[in-house]
Structure 1
């Protein structure tokens, strides 16, 4: 009867309170390790390249493959945590708005600029390398 409903409601309230405590504890833990990043229009940033399984990124396999490409200029801020980047024409098939977690700040230095085959980048920011020529053959 009514007592059972009261007991059930009390248990639901306790469960809600425990969930709220757990959420607060996890948020505090994550916030300690989070870096607050803010960029201004005109700043330059590197863009994180997603490493797909079985796909070589920009011709270099494994640990030596670049994790970031760029630098790209920030055009404007979109919402609280997203930015619109000025991507080159070769990346026109990639959406130009990115979450701040995919960006890394950049200060210009002439030795930092490396050219990548931007015309072969897919929509998911991955790149598949194909051999140009067979240099040697071994019979077994």
Structure 2
């Protein structure tokens, strides 16, 4: 074992003073960093949305009671062997030209059978004319 030295009160006081100086310097540095951060900090502002969502509570649901007269009609869909089907276009809802750097592409908004208007898609007009000419007879 090594020699043990007893610490005198003066050495303890010097150590306490140095610890206090270090704490003061750390506090000064932290305050300086906080002031830099406060200058760059932006308060976040949130807008309240004015939309109201339809909400219902689960307790409002009732058990379904079977009714033989309640029959849903489903349209006949011809399925292929791979269980896919072709959605036939039924109407052109609109026209638009997409301008690219070197060319202009004509587009048509196509409504397909068993779709609602919101599900209509934009397709190239030249492709639609070649595949479905009956849509452009008007």
Fold agreement, TM-score > 0.5: no
Question: RCO (CA 8 Å, sep 6+): is it higher in 1 or 2?
Answer: 1
TM-score, with length taken from structure 2: 0.29
TM-score, with length taken from structure 1: 0.29
